[in-house]
Chains A and B, each alone.
Chain A
Amino acid sequence: MRIGIVGAGSMGTVHAEGWAATDAELVAVCAEPGEAPTELAARHGARACATLEELLDLVDVVDVCAPTDLHHDLTLAAAAAGRHVICEKPLARTSAQARAMITACRDAGVQLHVGHVVRFFPEYALAKHTVDRGAIGVPAVLRFTRASYAPKGRDDDWFADPARSGGLLLDLMIHDLDQARWLAGPVTRVLARSRATLRPGSGPDHCLAVLTHEQGAITHVEASWAYPAPVFRTRFEVAGTTGVLDHDSDRDAPVRTIMAPTEDLADVPIPGSPMAESPYTTELRHFLAVLRGQTEPVVRAEDGLAALLMAEAAERSLHGGRVESVAPLEVPA
């Protein structure tokens, strides 16, 4: 499999390292038209392409690591060229775009995968496995926290522009919206509240949502860009009918450092515990196996669409103040 990465920022860099650990071949990288990402390409012995078209000619799989608002157009271009697509989360800026992407890829006969990487983080994967084997009974009350400082785009501050990134809900909370649905099934109703605490004008940076699941569970989700750097806190708790499981990245950290304050921060904070393999690599390795027809996907493009529908219901609730229904997941026929 010949891979081409589109977007050479934080995620493009992480994915390039991930592919390097697999037996797929990272052959090309491109970024903004006309700006061939020579540095990243050189590091991995890939070709730095000046345009998307140049990259499409060289690859079997397009790995979309560009800003969220571009996912749709890039995916459609890749599908038109007959290339499989792996797309960073959120699948798209809107659920309508996500539906169009699913349709386009299906019509073109190519696979579309979405990088809901949290499903590949070992603590979350183990929680899912533990719930699925019935160890704590039926999930009843679930809690998720994902809290850090606000991410920055590599070349421009596209994260801070909700029209481009979708803001806190689409960019960050979507991870745990997917987790909630993965663990406790479809969500029917959402109430959400948000505050713009630190950067008034650039949208909410702290948000809570209360979800009601079709099968009766309730879920509390906290997503925040309002925590002081360099923290990236992740927590979850699943209270089931016979037992409770939980994770807390502060409490469960195997290595702790106490450092003097520094300005040297990653543009995009990424959570994680020391592991033999990065969850991003695990994810890409999995997608590779799916592309080769060796295994069933752990996460489908439809899951990415479902997460977007939940985020959009939460977004409506932020604005109207009311409980909102999640639009049904009708996969385009």
Chain B
Amino acid sequence: MRIGLLSAAHLHVDAYVANLRAAGAEVVGLTDDDPGRGRAWCTAHGVPWVDSTDELLSRDLDGVVVCSETAAHRRDVEGVAAAGLGVLCEKPLATTEDDAKALVAACERAGVPLLTAFPMRYSPPMREVADLLGAGVLGEVQAAMGTNQGELPMRHRAWFVEPTRSGGGALMDHVVHLADVLRWYLDDEVVEVYAATNRLLHAPTVTVETGGVVLLTFASGVFASIDCSWSKPDVYPTWGGLRLDLVASEGVVGVDAFAQRLTVHGGSDGPLAWPEWGSDANQGLIDDFVGVLREERPPAVTGHDGLAATRVALAAARSAELGTPVALDPAP
């Protein structure tokens, strides 16, 4: 499989290039709106630099991974779809509902697969919980409490905190993963969203919200909370984490997607380090993408899932602005 990379804006591209090679795919090249950033990235990762998107798309590709700034996703995905190629698009799908709908529709029209980068769908601990729920041993889920907290992402990429390019702050960055997991686990859609946000953390550095607590209500009446705050300090041993507790009629289950790690004190890794030994969920995502392109089968996570999660994040932003819960039409 011959894969092209559109932009090095999103830091996940660093992981994907290794994942693509491990999946046996050929990384044909990368282009970027910012040639300086793109060329430097290509040099660092041993990937050929390509001067333009048109040129990249003409290189007999099977699929493209879109890692541009969120506001550029629509343009990029529409371009790839028009070339008849499958797409894996970084999350969130877009900064507006119109853009998210348009890029999903473009892939549907072109008949090409679109995957949203929700690696939690491929995380073995997260899948184990899905299996437990599916087997019915826990009974009916009644409520869920999730956290997807992180450090301030601008340490790696400054555009994350520029609303015109990222669509917002902590809400846009960290609501979609758990929104997607919850839709997956509950097989249900969000009908109401409430969000309280603030900007006390990193206040002098950024203009977007850095703290956020979101309450989702599903059509069944089940509710779930998501703490999407950028509340992990710079000295935290890792970027953040994702945890979810589910209260069901027959029991309770908690999952920490990144609990599989060693604890290392001292030595060359500093006072405290958590090297991970769990399976790489990004590898699962990339394997699925390559498999979908090769075998023409449906992916485990689609553009529709990306659209639904993006709508939840956008509704959260609206709610935070209004200070009240906002209704969400489950089937727009």
Q: What number of A-B contacts does a CB cutoff of 8 Å give?
A: 108
- Given A193-B223, A244-B236, A322-B324, A208:B215 Cβ within 8 A: yes
A217 neighbours in B (Cβ, 8 Å): 198, 200, 211
Q: Most A CB atoms within 10 A — which of B200, B222, B229, B252?
A: B200
- Chain A, interface size category, equals 35 or more
Once bound together, how far apart are the Cα atoms of A250 and B212, in whole Å?
25
Q: How many residues of B contact A (CB 8 A)?
A: 37
Q: Do most interface residues of chain B lie in helix, strand or loop, or is the interface mixed?
A: strand
Q: Does A222 contact B (CB under 8 A)?
A: yes
B212 neighbours in A (Cβ, 8 Å): 141, 218
Within 8 A of A (CB), among B180-225: 194, 196-198, 200-203, 210-213, 215, 217, 221-223, 225
Once bound together, how far apart are the Cα atoms of A211 and B223, in whole Å?
16
B251 neighbours in A (Cβ, 8 Å): 228
Q: Does A28 contact B (CB under 8 A)?
A: no
Q: Are B211 and A218 in contact (CB under 8 A)?
A: yes
Q: Are B227 and A141 in contact (CB under 8 A)?
A: yes
Chain A minimum-CB-distance residue to B139: A197
Chain A minimum-CB-distance residue to B197: A218
Q: How far is the CB of A112 from chain B (nearest CB, A)?
A: 33
B324 neighbours in A (Cβ, 8 Å): 322-323
Chain A minimum-CB-distance residue to B217: A193
Once bound together, how far apart are the Cα atoms of A138 and B210, in whole Å?
14
- Given A198-B249, A244-B236, A239:B211 Cβ within 8 A: yes
Q: Does B143 contact A (CB under 8 A)?
A: yes
Q: Are A218 and B198 in contact (CB under 8 A)?
A: yes
Once bound together, how far apart are the Cα atoms of A206 and B141, in whole Å?
12
Q: Does A109 contact B (CB under 8 A)?
A: no
Q: Does A21 contact B (CB under 8 A)?
A: no
Q: Are A140 and B200 in contact (CB under 8 A)?
A: yes
Q: Does A226 contact B (CB under 8 A)?
A: yes
Q: Does B142 contact A (CB under 8 A)?
A: yes
B165 neighbours in A (Cβ, 8 Å): none
Once bound together, how far apart are the Cα atoms of A218 and B207, in whole Å?
18
Q: How far is the CB of B178 from chain A (nearest CB, A)?
A: 13
A104 neighbours in B (Cβ, 8 Å): none
B232 neighbours in A (Cβ, 8 Å): 239, 244
Q: Does A119 contact B (CB under 8 A)?
A: no
Once bound together, how far apart are the Cα atoms of A323 and B323, in whole Å?
8
Once bound together, how far apart are the Cα atoms of A195 and B143, in whole Å?
8
Within 8 A of B (CB), among A205-227: 206, 208, 210-212, 216-220, 222, 224, 226-227
Q: Are B325 and A218 in contact (CB under 8 A)?
A: no
Q: How far is the CB of A42 from chain B (nearest CB, A)?
A: 40
A297 neighbours in B (Cβ, 8 Å): none
A206 neighbours in B (Cβ, 8 Å): 142-143, 247
Chain B minimum-CB-distance residue to A215: B200
Q: Does A273 contact B (CB under 8 A)?
A: no
Q: Are B233 and A242 in contact (CB under 8 A)?
A: yes
Q: Are B223 and A195 in contact (CB under 8 A)?
A: yes
Q: Does B231 contact A (CB under 8 A)?
A: yes
Q: How far is the CB of A253 from chain B (nearest CB, A)?
A: 15
B325 neighbours in A (Cβ, 8 Å): 191, 321-323
Q: Does A300 contact B (CB under 8 A)?
A: no
Q: Does B105 contact A (CB under 8 A)?
A: no
Once bound together, how far apart are the Cα atoms of A58 and B75, in whole Å?
83
Once bound together, how far apart are the Cα atoms of A211 and B215, in whole Å?
12
Query: B residues within 8 Å of A by Cβ?
Result: 142-143, 145, 147, 149, 194, 196-198, 200-203, 210-213, 215, 217, 221-223, 225, 227, 229, 231-233, 236, 247-249, 251-252, 323-325
Listed by A's residue number, 27 A-B pairs whose Cβ atoms lie within 8 Å are A140-B210, A140-B211, A141-B200, A141-B201, A141-B212, A141-B213, A143-B227, A191-B196, A193-B143, A197-B247, A206-B247, A208-B143, A210-B194, A210-B213, A210-B215, A210-B225, A212-B196, A216-B200, A218-B212, A220-B213, A220-B225, A220-B227, A226-B143, A231-B252, A242-B233, A322-B325, A323-B194
